[in-house]
């Protein structure tokens, strides 16, 4: 860009020491503050949701620390390098998924984990980042909007890992992988007629999906429609989480005072259903506050995506922002009874290290991409 | 003609901007939808849900099932459940946690080494939960607690059923033990079933039969007050409170004879090793002893850090199950089996003789394979070779057979693969062959089978390794002259409520048939000579027995003696001394018991291992057969 030089020299005068440091570390202040606020709020809620189990809480703090270090590290990686290794990461990811499908360790009744001896690792987590990056890598040099053939290639790039993950069966992660890939297509300017045709096709294929679903997945859809059919079985989660949220009212019952959560009526209260604990103890205001924080993070991430100067950066950043949104939407929708129960955690709040590392790794990549925006020739 | 597309960067940037704006709009819209849903639940329907939440006064309390009891073959109880007093701490009721813990240490109710573990345990539990810090107190400890109770606010006694092993360390490697459920266990089990269960099988039968022993967990609903404390039912019975009674686990009836087991363990004394005794006609395991032993009650009662460290750092490895997991070179014990393989392949006849001059050489090689007897055994036939354990005879026989024919016969006798006993963790050992070597090594020069490697297999050395259980199993086949049964510890399962018994019939394995069935008696006769013949290696141990023993001694090298050196027992450190082995069955004509004994670094099989087998035979055969 022609005016780049001006912009830089003019802004340099107004830079304070702090912002200069952030700049040097490729960090975005506003995004960082938003993420920190969500994480801090999450730890506060988790302390209560874990029923004062300090060991659990400490473990989460440690995981958060690890995830932050990962994010800061990824932010330092040059964007060009990220683009270069994308096909490799994607290839390895698909390979590992096949390995898991073949000889995966049985974890929680589903084949998701790969035991590396030292750590157990979920290849599907890697795919949440590798899939959108691969889609963007493919579209990077091509004229956009993509042709029908190119669109089909991207769909295949998304479908292979998504189907492998769905087969594990891990519907929640499959959904996130697919959403991450498809959001790249949307952001790349997929013509609207394709979007609507795709949506129509998906609607038409619903009966087929029903046919392919596992029994427990079907029962989750059915219980969403009528939770009372099985109040102690599959409907229990939905009923108890709605009671928790509803009984919280506007101001909530107070931190550590939710009877639903503390008396263990609410299942999975520190993991997937932690949003209901917020509703019960901190009320409508607490939940809206958190949603507001999420909006700040998503909005800022989308803004940064738009600042990226090359196609790869834009598409990957935009997709990371939208995937984060899908996490929020699917989890809150499930907990409030708008969507079927799908195992998607509330980002940066639910107990568990895997999703936190992936999410913050995504933001690390996003920061790397936005930082190098002025160094990349267009 | 195909339209040429040109990358229009400005247009792409513009499209992206529009799409991002649109995406932002959708994000805001959908989150507004969620917010709307929250308004509906928390504002419009607040009263309704608040009442429902008030009504949530019934809490589900787990009712753990009784764990199945384990009996030996004569109905003696080997593992049972007894009420135990446990010491619990409720953190919220303790003012000064460190002070209270220190006081407990002073009163010798806790060990100071244990404080770290107890602190961790307390930190990992939920609010107002009583954390068990000791699982089983002695009567004396209970009274000490009772005297000082007033100083120990927040420390309580609670009762529960705890596992108890009345025979203590006897047969611990067969029974295994239960211990607290670990995080690893939690990943494997169904949490709904173990909700309320304190202990889980960790090793041995307790672990292998966990599913049968555990039973099905139940629950009951209890009324709770606003703080979640259980309250008495209001005005008598509340019929709507549900109760789902637990179903107790199945009892196990073992083939093990605990008194015979005790005889075997006592005969081993403080030596390291293994004893296995099988009923050859059923596969029943009557003795499964690995020494040294340890007290499983320590685990059931919640082992202290110091005790556990003692067990894991003990150089004698008491936790190690030598019967199932110890793979040793079988040594000379397999010479009768080698002879059998020779007869089966037709490369040798019983009366064929070989001159033993103290060493063996392969054609075109000067390497000397030495006999244990430096001056040699002279001219020996098959019977004499087994009786005197002549190495040179078997070096030659092995060379004549070749490794693959040896492998075929030994595989039929159960070597090189687990026997399939109903306890987990069994190892299969190695029965080498040319194919095995090809797959076992990476470097091409290591993947070729050398003739010299066959020679030492002839005396049970080299790559060949076997567990004591496999040795006893092979003896059982010789004892029955063919019929073969899978070793088993559990002979029947019993439902404690209906008293219904489900026997597990003996599981036959493919019968070993010989080209010439007469070969069986040749081998048995040679093994009888070992215990009765003029130069038999186990004559001393068998002297005075009221029955005939068919046996074979063995000495397995741990340490390789160089070509010019001479093995000297006194200079070789204890851990490098040879393992002593003895395998046998008796009575030779109508066998009732097949036995394998291994004494680690025991020296000679004849003097150390054979007397242990003798003690087991004496104890078992003095009783009339059932």
Residue A319 covered by a domain: yes
Residue A202 covered by a domain: yes
Distance from CA of B16 to the nearest CA of A (A): 6
Percentage of residues in chain A with pLDDT exceeding 70?
Answer: 84
By Cβ distance, the residue of B15, B24, B53 closest to A189 is B15
Q: How confident is the model at residue B441 (pLDDT cuts 50, 70, 90)?
A: confident
Q: Are B444 and B398 in contact (CB under 8 A)?
A: no
Percentage of residues in chain B with pLDDT exceeding 70?
Answer: 90
Q: Are strands B70-71 and B273-278 parallel, antiparallel or unpaired?
A: unpaired
pLDDT at A284 over 90: yes
In whole angstroms, what is the distance from residue B625 CA to residue A28 CA? Answer: 86
Instruction: Give, to the nearest 10 degrees, the angle between helix B115-123 and helix B97-106.
Output: 140
Give the count of domains, chain A. 1
pLDDT at B559 over 90: no
Per-residue model confidence (pLDDT) at position B260: 96
Per-residue model confidence (pLDDT) at position A54: 83
Distance from CA of A139 to the nearest CA of B (A): 11
Q: In residues, how long is chain B?
A: 626
Choice between B346 and B194, residue whose per-residue pLDDT is larger: B346
Residue A325 covered by a domain: yes
In whole angstroms, what is the distance from residue B442 CA to residue B483 CA? Answer: 39
Task: Count CB pairs under 8 A between chains A and B.
Answer: 153
| Residue in B with minimal Cα distance to A281 | B42
Indicate yes or no: CB of A246 within 8 angstroms of CB of B19. no
Six token digits for residue B464 = 């060949």
Q: Are strands B251-254 and B70-71 parallel, antiparallel or unpaired?
A: parallel
Give me the mean pLDDT over the B578-590 stretch. 93
Neighbours of B545 (CB within 10 A): 16
Per-residue model confidence (pLDDT) at position A214: 72
Per-residue model confidence (pLDDT) at position A3: 47
| Domain span holding position A367 | 16-374
Residue B197 covered by a domain: no
In whole angstroms, what is the distance from residue B137 CA to residue B140 CA? Answer: 8
pLDDT at A116 over 80: no
By Cβ distance, the residue of B30, B123, B124 closest to A329 is B30
Per-residue model confidence (pLDDT) at position A235: 66
Per-residue model confidence (pLDDT) at position A312: 92
Query: pLDDT of B483-541, one tens digit each?
Result: 999 999 999 999 998 889 999 999 999 999 999 999 999 999 999 999 998 888 888 98
Give me the mean pLDDT over the B98-104 stretch. 88
Q: Are B297 and B164 in contact (CB under 8 A)?
A: yes
Distance from CA of A209 to the nearest CA of B (A): 24
Residue B602 covered by a domain: no
Q: SS3 of B541, please?
A: helix
Q: Which residues of A touch B126 (CB under 8 A)?
A: 50-53
pLDDT at B65 over 70: yes
Q: Report the candidate in A293, A295, A362, A359 with the shortest Cα–Cα distance to residue A63.
A: A359
Residue in the block written with tokens 């390291």: B272
Residue B364 covered by a domain: yes
SS (H, E, C) B93-105: HCCCHHHHHHHHH
Q: How confident is the model at residue A117 (pLDDT cuts 50, 70, 90)?
A: very low
Neighbours of A210 (CB within 10 A): 11
By Cβ distance, the residue of B5, B9, B16 closest to A306 is B16
pLDDT at A111 over 70: no
Query: pLDDT of B317-340, one tens digit each?
Result: 999 999 999 999 999 999 999 999
Residue B452 covered by a domain: yes
By Cβ distance, the residue of A248, A311, A338 closest to B37 is A338
Query: pLDDT of B215-231, one tens digit each?
Result: 988 877 766 654 445 55
Per-residue model confidence (pLDDT) at position B220: 76
| Active centre residues of B (catalytic) | 332
Q: Report the candidate in A46, A83, A77 with the shortest Cα–Cα distance to residue A268.
A: A46
In whole angstroms, what is the distance from residue B422 CA to residue B200 CA? Answer: 18
Indicate yes or no: CB of B20 within 8 angstroms of CB of A187. yes
Per-residue model confidence (pLDDT) at position B124: 63
Q: Which residues of B touch A183 (CB under 8 A)?
A: 23
Indicate yes or no: CB of B125 within 8 angstroms of CB of A53. yes
Give me the mean pLDDT over the A199-223 stretch. 76
| Residue in B with minimal Cα distance to A232 | B60
Per-residue model confidence (pLDDT) at position B234: 42
Q: Which residues of B touch A266 (CB under 8 A)?
A: none
Query: pLDDT of B244-279, one tens digit each?
Result: 888 899 999 999 999 999 999 999 999 999 999 999
Per-residue model confidence (pLDDT) at position A4: 45
- Greatest mean pLDDT among A162-176, B184-198, B447-461: B447-461
By Cβ distance, the residue of B6, B19, B53 closest to A247 is B53
| Residue in A with minimal Cα distance to B4 | A143
| Domain span holding position B375 | 331-414+430-464
Choice between B185 and B341, residue whose per-residue pLDDT is larger: B341
| Residue in A with minimal Cα distance to B61 | A264
CATH classification of the domain holding B398: 3.40.710.10
Beta bridge partners, B291, equal B273
Q: How confident is the model at residue B191 (pLDDT cuts 50, 70, 90)?
A: low
Query: pLDDT of B132-173, one tens digit each?
Result: 788 778 888 888 988 888 888 888 888 878 899 999 999 999
Indicate yes or no: CB of B48 within 8 angstroms of CB of A56. no
Interface test with B, best of A280, A336, A338, A370 (most B CBs within 10 A): A336
Distance from CA of A187 to the nearest CA of B (A): 6
Distance from CA of A310 to the nearest CA of B (A): 9
Residue A292 covered by a domain: yes
Per-residue model confidence (pLDDT) at position A110: 45
Give me the mean pLDDT over the A256-260 stretch. 77
Distance from CA of A208 to the nearest CA of B (A): 27
Give me the mean pLDDT over the B109-121 stretch. 81
Per-residue model confidence (pLDDT) at position B505: 92
Q: Which residues of A touch B59 (CB under 8 A)?
A: 263-265
Query: pLDDT of A149-207, one tens digit each?
Result: 999 999 999 999 999 888 777 778 888 899 999 999 999 988 888 888 888 888 887 77
Q: Which residues of A touch B23 (CB under 8 A)?
A: 183, 186-187, 302, 318, 321-322
The overall average pLDDT reported for chain B is 86
Q: Report the candidate in B210, B167, B202 with the shortest Cα–Cα distance to residue B308.
A: B202
By Cβ distance, the residue of B13, B33, B42 closest to A279 is B42
| Residue in A with minimal Cα distance to B41 | A246
Per-residue model confidence (pLDDT) at position A166: 83
Give the count of domains, chain B. 1
Query: pLDDT of A123-144, one tens digit each?
Result: 888 899 999 999 999 999 888 7
Per-residue model confidence (pLDDT) at position A144: 77
In whole angstroms, what is the distance from residue A273 CA to residue A236 CA? Answer: 12
Per-residue model confidence (pLDDT) at position B216: 86
Indicate yes or no: CB of B39 within 8 angstroms of CB of A294. no
Query: pLDDT of B396-435, one tens digit each?
Result: 999 999 999 999 999 999 999 999 999 988 999 999 999 9
Per-residue model confidence (pLDDT) at position A225: 67
Residue A1 covered by a domain: no
By Cβ distance, the residue of A51, A183, A314 closest to B127 is A51
Give me the mean pLDDT over the A54-67 stretch. 90
Q: Which residues of A touch B7 (CB under 8 A)?
A: 141-144
pLDDT at B84 over 90: no
Per-residue model confidence (pLDDT) at position B23: 92
Q: Which residues of A touch B225 (CB under 8 A)?
A: none
Q: SS3 of A84, please?
A: helix
Which secondary structure element, helix H or strand E, spans residue B180, and what is its range? strand B178-180
Give me the mean pLDDT over the B609-613 stretch. 94
Residue A8 covered by a domain: no
Beta bridge partners, B582, equal B553, B597
Distance from CA of A107 to the nearest CA of B (A): 7
Q: How confident is the model at residue A7 (pLDDT cuts 50, 70, 90)?
A: very low
Q: Which residues of B touch A248 (CB under 8 A)?
A: 42
Per-residue model confidence (pLDDT) at position B99: 87
Gyration radius of chain B's alpha carbons? 33
The overall average pLDDT reported for chain A is 83
Indicate yes or no: CB of A145 within 8 angstroms of CB of B15. yes
């Amino acid at each position: 860009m022609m005016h780049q030089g001006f912009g830089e020299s003019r802004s340099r005068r107004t830079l304070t020491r702090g912002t200069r440091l952030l700049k040097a570390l490729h960090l975005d202040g506003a995004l960082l503050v938003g993420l920190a606020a969500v994480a801090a709020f999450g730890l506060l809620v988790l302390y209560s949701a874990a029923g004062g189990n300090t060991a659990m809480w400490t473990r989460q703090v440690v995981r958060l620390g690890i995830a932050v270090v990962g994010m800061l590290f990824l932010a330092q990686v040059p964007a060009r390098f990220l683009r270069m290794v994308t096909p490799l990461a994607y290839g390895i990811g698909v390979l590992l998924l096949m390995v898991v499908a073949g000889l995966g360790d049985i974890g929680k009744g589903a084949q998701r984990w790969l035991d590396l001896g030292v750590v157990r690792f979920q290849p599907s987590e890697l795919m949440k980042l590798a899939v959108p990056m691969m889609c963007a890598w493919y579209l990077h040099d091509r004229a956009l909007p993509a042709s029908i053939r190119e669109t089909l290639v991207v769909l295949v790039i998304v479908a292979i890992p998504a189907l492998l993950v769905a087969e594990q069966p891990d519907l929640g992660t499959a959904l996130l992988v697919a959403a991450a890939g498809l959001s790249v297509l949307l952001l790349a300017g997929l013509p609207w007629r394709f979007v609507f045709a795709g949506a129509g096709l998906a609607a038409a294929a619903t009966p087929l999906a029903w046919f392919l679903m596992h029994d427990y997945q079907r029962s989750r859809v059915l219980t969403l429609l009528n939770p009372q059919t099985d109040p102690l079985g599959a409907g229990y989660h939905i009923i108890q989480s709605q009671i928790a949220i509803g009984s919280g009212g506007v101001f909530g019952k107070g931190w550590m005072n939710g009877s639903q959560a503390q008396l263990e009526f609410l299942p999975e209260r520190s993991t997937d259903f932690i949003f209901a604990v917020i509703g019960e103890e901190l009320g409508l205001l607490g939940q809206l506050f958190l949603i507001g924080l999420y909006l700040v993070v998503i909005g800022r991430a989308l803004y940064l995506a738009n600042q990226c100067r090359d196609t790869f950066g834009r598409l990957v950043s935009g997709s990371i922002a939208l995937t984060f949104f899908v996490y929020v939407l699917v989890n809150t929708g499930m907990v409030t009874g708008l969507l079927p129960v799908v195992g998607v955690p509330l980002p940066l709040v639910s107990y568990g290290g895997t999703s936190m590392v992936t999410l913050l790794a995504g933001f690390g990549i996003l920061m790397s991409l936005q930082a190098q925006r002025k160094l990349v020739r267009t | 003609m195909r339209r040429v597309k040109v990358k229009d960067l400005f247009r792409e940037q513009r499209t992206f901007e529009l799409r991002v704006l649109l995406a932002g709009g959708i994000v805001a819209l959908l989150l507004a939808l969620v917010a709307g849903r929250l308004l509906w639940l928390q504002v419009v329907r607040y009263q309704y849900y608040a009442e429902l939440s008030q009504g949530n006064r019934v809490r589900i309390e787990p009712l753990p099932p009784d764990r199945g009891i384990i009996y030996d073959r004569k109905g003696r109880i080997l593992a049972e459940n007894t009420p135990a007093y446990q010491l619990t701490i409720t953190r919220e009721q303790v003012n000064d946690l460190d002070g209270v813990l220190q006081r407990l240490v002073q009163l010798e109710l806790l060990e100071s080494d244990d404080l770290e573990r107890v602190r961790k345990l307390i930190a990992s539990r939920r609010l107002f939960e009583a954390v068990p810090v000791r699982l089983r107190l002695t009567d004396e400890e209970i009274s000490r607690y009772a005297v000082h109770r007033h100083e120990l606010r927040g420390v309580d006694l609670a009762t529960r059923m705890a596992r108890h092993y009345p025979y203590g360390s006897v047969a611990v490697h067969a029974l295994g033990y239960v211990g607290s459920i670990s995080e690893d266990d939690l990943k494997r089990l169904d949490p709904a079933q173990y909700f309320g269960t304190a202990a889980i099988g960790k090793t041995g039968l307790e672990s292998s039969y966990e599913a049968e022993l555990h039973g099905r967990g139940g629950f009951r609903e209890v009324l709770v007050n606003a703080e979640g404390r259980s309250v008495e039912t209001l005005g008598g019975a509340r019929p709507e409170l549900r109760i789902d009674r637990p179903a107790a686990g199945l009892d196990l009836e073992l083939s093990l004879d605990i008194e015979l087991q005790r005889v075997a363990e006592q005969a081993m004394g403080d030596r390291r090793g293994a004893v296995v005794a099988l009923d050859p006609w059923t596969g029943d395991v009557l003795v499964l002893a690995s020494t040294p032993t340890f007290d499983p009650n320590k685990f059931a009662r919640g082992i202290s850090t110091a005790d556990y460290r003692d067990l894991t750092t003990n150089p004698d490895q008491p936790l190690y199950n030598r019967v199932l997991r110890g793979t040793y070179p079988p040594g000379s014990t397999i010479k009768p089996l080698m002879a059998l393989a020779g007869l089966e392949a037709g490369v040798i006849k019983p009366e064929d003789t070989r001159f033993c001059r103290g060493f063996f050489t392969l054609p075109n090689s000067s390497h000397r394979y030495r006999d244990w007897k430096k001056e040699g055994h002279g001219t020996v036939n098959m019977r004499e070779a087994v009786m005197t354990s002549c190495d040179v005879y078997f070096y030659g026989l092995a060379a004549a057979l070749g490794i693959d024919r040896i492998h075929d016969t030994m595989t039929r006798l159960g070597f090189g693969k687990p026997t399939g006993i109903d306890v987990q963790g069994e190892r299969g050992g190695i029965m080498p062959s040319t194919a095995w070597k090809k797959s076992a090594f990476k470097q091409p020069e290591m993947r070729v089978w050398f003739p010299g490697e066959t020679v030492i297999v002839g005396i049970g050395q080299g790559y060949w390794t076997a567990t004591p259980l496999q040795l006893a199993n092979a003896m059982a086949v010789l004892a029955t002259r063919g019929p073969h049964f899978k070793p088993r510890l559990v002979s029947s399962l019993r439902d404690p409520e209906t008293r219904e018994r489900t026997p597990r019939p003996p599981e036959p394995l493919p019968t070993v048939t010989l080209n010439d069935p007469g070969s069986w008696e040749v081998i048995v006769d040679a093994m009888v000579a070992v215990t009765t013949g003029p130069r038999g290696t186990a004559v001393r141990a068998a002297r005075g027995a009221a029955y005939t023993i068919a046996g074979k001694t063995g000495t397995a090298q741990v340490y390789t003696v160089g070509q010019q050196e001479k093995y000297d027992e006194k200079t070789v450190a204890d851990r490098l001394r040879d393992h002593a082995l003895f395998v046998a069955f008796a009575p030779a004509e109508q066998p009732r018991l097949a036995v394998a004994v291994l004494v680690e670094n025991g020296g000679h099989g004849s003097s150390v291992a054979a007397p242990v087998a003798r003690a087991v035979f004496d104890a078992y055969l003095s009783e009339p057969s059932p």
